[in-house]
Amino acid sequence: MRAKDIVKEHLRRSEFDHEICILPVPVAALMSTQYIARMLEHKDISDIDLVLIPGLIKGDASIIRKRVGVKSWKGPKNAADLPNVLQVIEKIKFSTIFPADELIRKAGIKDIEMSLNRIEKEGRKATPREDLLVLGKGEKKLFIGPHFPMRVLAEIVDASIMSTEEIKKRASVYDASGADIIDVGMVAGGGHPEDSSRAVKAVKKCTKKIVSIDAQDPEEIICGIKAGADLILSIDAENMSEVAEYTVDAPVVVTSSGRAHVLEKNIEKRISQLNENIRRARSLGYMNVIADPVLSPIFSPDLCNSIQAYLRFREIDTNTPVLFGAGNVTELIDGDSIGANLLLTGIAAEVGANIILTTEGSVKTKNSVSEVVKAVKMITLAKNRKSPPKDLGIDLLVMKDKNWKEEMFTITEKIKKLSAKRNLEPAHDQRGSYRILIDRDKNEIVMVHYDYGKIKPDLIFKSKEPDQLIGEAINRSLLSRLEHAYYLGRELEKAKIAILTGKSYVQDQELFFGTN
């Protein structure tokens, strides 16, 4: 189906009287606003109230109004998005410069932020003081409670063996990704109290967010608190007495582990141990307790059973805040994290969790913090609307689209059809060669130029956009062959896709999407 047919179908279903003007140009984006104005001057449009032109057309649509006396706006870039425009055409003031779908998206983002702010304010009013847990002080106060959105805790895995600069870099990334709490994760086994202190101080220097420490070693916990940690994770039957003198004034996450940090597999025994740990913690003076029934990975020993533990705990205790360790699952499945994070966030909300912990401890879980932050927004809106997390104006669709937008192959004209069989052979370009890399710290594409026959580069270009890089190569006359221009453009687009999806980019190799 061609774009004109898609437009006809959508307008046929709409409530608007309309007329479709088809101009003799095969690709809409090749038209200009001046061309459209010139063509409309020769038509009778006296009964038309609005001219809506394709969003990809270059130029300012106001020239159409000047020429023909009818208000003109830019519509969506893609004909498939026309229904979305028609739904709000009387509510949103569209533009003569910017495509309508971009304005709808921006308006949607604004509405989403307003809704989330409203939910946050209503949470303050709806939560009784006795059910409210406050982390931090002053400007960085963070409220935890049943009527607030879940808070995202981003753990820096194995922070104790990282350099101070690497800790700061990770903390800054997690902060920018939207995490509410940044956690210093210590290496299992303990024995590094000086690194506990160093890591907490490093994080506090580069963020105003709540800082927590996840350790079982009493000395590491004590040093973390002395360094300024606002929250302690992994207090259990084994270590709470030893650290109580130093930590009772701090909020703590109490897990369901017993002596020697052993976690019961039986759900009833696990919940019994958790309740005993909480009772004992409060008897030692801990007033701000968060419960962690502990989420287990799939078959290690049992994800579904551990979810049952959360549900069982909430049946017994409806007030104590709960932490949900989603990172325990995402790190131990070889699947894309984005869908798993959304599903786990939804489960966390259904079992009554107040804090969701995520990690970026491996290549496959990179960007999990931003994914969970977005997932929490989606789930918060869905919960507020009492609906599934869809049609919210915000989504986590990356590898697939919600709606089909491409034009179907339906050419019926008598045109000679050829099968392309000839492969493009590599060709040397007298204007030089290129190496393509990615700067992952800045998410930029790096294009390195080598003069013909040289082994040392003479120019380095950086940008997030392939168009800008290929434009530099053309404008500086650093390309002389069409085959080379095609090759360079293809590699630059691959690099951009790798940045957007989290895939590895290797020049001259395909980007594989789960085809094995």
Which CATH code is given to the segment(s) 131-385?
Answer: 3.20.20.20
- Backbone phi, psi, residue 365, to 5°: -105, 10
pLDDT tens digits, one per residue of 365-386:
999 999 999 999 999 999 999 9
Determine the Cα–Cα distance for residues 180 and 149; give it in Å rounded to an integer. Answer: 11
**pLDDT of the residue at 251:** 96
Provide the pLDDT for residue 516. Answer: 56
Q: What pLDDT, on a 0 to 100 scale, did the predictor assign at position 435?
A: 97
Residue spans of the domains in the chain: they are 3-105, 131-385, 433-501
What's the rounded Cα separation, in Å, for the pair 34 and 262? 74
Q: Report the SS3 class of residue 157.
A: coil
The per-residue pLDDT for 514 is: 61
Given a cut of 70, whether residue 140 has pLDDT beyond it is yes
Which residues have C-beta within 8 Å of that of residue 496, sequence separation ≥ 6? 445, 464, 465, 466
* pLDDT (mean) for 17-26: 88
Q: Report the alpha-carbon distance of residue 329 to residue 337 in Å, rounded.
A: 10
Give me the chain's average pLDDT, please.
93
pLDDT in the model for residue 404: 81
**Residue whose tokens read 């003069």:** 451
pLDDT band at residue 283 under the 50/70/90 scheme:
very high
